[in-house]
Amino acid sequence: DSDFSAIGEEAFTPDSNTQNQAIFISEHIHNGDLHWEFGARVENQTVDPDDQAVVPAGQATAGQARNLGSYSDNALSLGVSAIWNFAENQSLTLSLQRSQRHPTSTELYSLGAHIATDQYEIGDAALGLETAYGIDLRHNYSAGNWSTTVSAFYTTFDDYIYSRNLGTQTTITNDEVDSPHFGESVNYDNYRFEAVDALFYGFEAEANYIAYQSEGSTVTVGLLADYVRATNEDDNTNLPRITPMRIGGKLRIENGAWVVGALLRQNFKQSKNAEFESETASFSELQFDLSHSTELEGGELTLFAQGRNLLDEDIRRHTSFIKDKAPLPGSSVNVGLSYKF
């Protein structure tokens, strides 16, 4: 049981009470080289909004009548996995799942300017369960100095819930007399939560090689890649805010209490865009982590340093609502201490 309350002039979602009850079961069965895993979960959720909720002054627009009906439904999720250890150093894992997700109170009832994401959000109280049917196949290999993992997934959605750019704007004028911004107007892009049939598929791959190893010291190098494709099956268009393909290399050095890590990753251009969504340029990102840990009586003291965006690139994540206005920070180095007890 949880209560949600957004306070202040910037609130865009009414107060609501959410109640959840769930039961789940899991089972494991070993049969020689074959290992089975089963799982099931049933969850009931009820969301009751405040019927007296009022849209903040200046934010209501024509045709956006409030529909604050309660939400209540049961979600059923099922999954089964088979892990086949077909060789001493290799295994295949096949997973099948059918999962359901309840809509959130924001997806159901929001109506107003979300300043953090620079958009005007419009919920839909008629949204129902989001249902996914997925299959995953994974191969693991580990022998000598080598270890690899390759996986592929294919998932279809009935009523996939996402925030869609409507291509229109809402103008909000500050009508607070005492505000230094009194009379100023801001245009927000309108986004509405909608449910569509969708398809997601892609892969992840990683390979690691221990290049050097001695007592107390290890040097490991690795390669990694991932790719996701997502489409709206109702109208055969692209879904928004989907990360592009990425490939990279990494290095990890362990020497006693010292650990050094570095990652260089290339993010490709994302040109498979949804309606009213801009293209995102490619970029490279370089980062490092350095730490030294010391065991103390009753705890552990760690000195660390972190470097981010060391190539000082213009990094804009395609998954961000505000990528066109706010790129990630430029190159930076942070140094600190942490103590665990």
For the stretch 34-43, pLDDT in tens is: 999 999 999 9
The tokens for 161 are 């819930």
Q: How far apart are CA 68 and CA 128, in angstroms?
A: 14
Two structure tokens written together for 220: 């490991």
Q: Would the pLDDT of 67 be above 60? A: no
**Residue of 184 and 327 predicted with greater confidence:** 327
Q: Give the mean model confidence (pLDDT) for residues 20-28.
A: 97
Does the pTM surpass 0.75? The reply is yes
pLDDT mean over 47-64? 55
Give CA–CA dist 226/58, Å, rounded: 44
Does 57 have pLDDT greater than 50? no
Indicate the helix (H) or strand (E) that contains 94: strand 90-101
Question: How far, in Å, CA of 83 to CA of 139, rounded?
Answer: 10
96-130: per-residue pLDDT in tens?
Answer: 999 999 999 999 999 888 888 889 999 999 999 99
3-state secondary structure of 214: strand
Round the average pLDDT of the chain to a whole number and report it. Answer: 91
Residues 172, 198 contacting (CB under 8 angstroms): no
Round to whole Å and give the CA distance between 106 and 15: 10
Q: Which tokens hold the place of 16? A: 């609501």
- The model's confidence at residue 54, banded by pLDDT at 50, 70 and 90, is very low
Which one-letter DSSP state was computed for residue 270?
B
Cβ(205)–Cβ(235) under 8 Å? no
Tokens standing for residue 296:
């103390």
Helix and strand tally (H, E) in the chain?
1, 17
Q: Lowest mean pLDDT: which of 58-67, 86-95, 206-215, 258-267?
A: 58-67
The number of C-alpha atoms within 13 Å of 4 and in the hemisphere containing its C-beta is 20
Q: Which domains does the chain have, with CATH numbers?
A: 2-239 (2.40.170.20)
pLDDT for 186:
87
**What pLDDT, on the 0 to 100 scale, is given for residue 176?**
65
b/e for 277-306, b at 16 or more Cβ within 10 A?
beebeebebbbbebeebeeeeeeeeeeeee
In angstroms, the CA 216 to CA 30 distance is: 36
Q: What is the pLDDT of residues 229-243, one digit of tens each?
A: 999 999 999 999 999
Summarize pLDDT for 202-211 with one digit per residue, the tens: 999 999 999 9
Cβ neighbours, 10 Å, residue 313: 18
Look at residue 334 and tell me whether its pLDDT is greater than 50.
Answer: yes
Look at residue 62 and tell me whether its pLDDT is greater than 80: no
Residue with tokens 């627009």: 61
CA distances from 123 to 22, 181, 234 (A): 25, 28, 20
pLDDT band at 61 (very low <50, low <70, confident <90, very high): very low
pLDDT digits (tens, 9 = 90+) for 134-182: 999 999 999 999 999 999 999 999 999 999 999 999 998 877 656 666 6
d(CA 69, CA 305): 51
Instruction: Check residue 10 and give its pLDDT.
Output: 59
207-225 average pLDDT score: 97
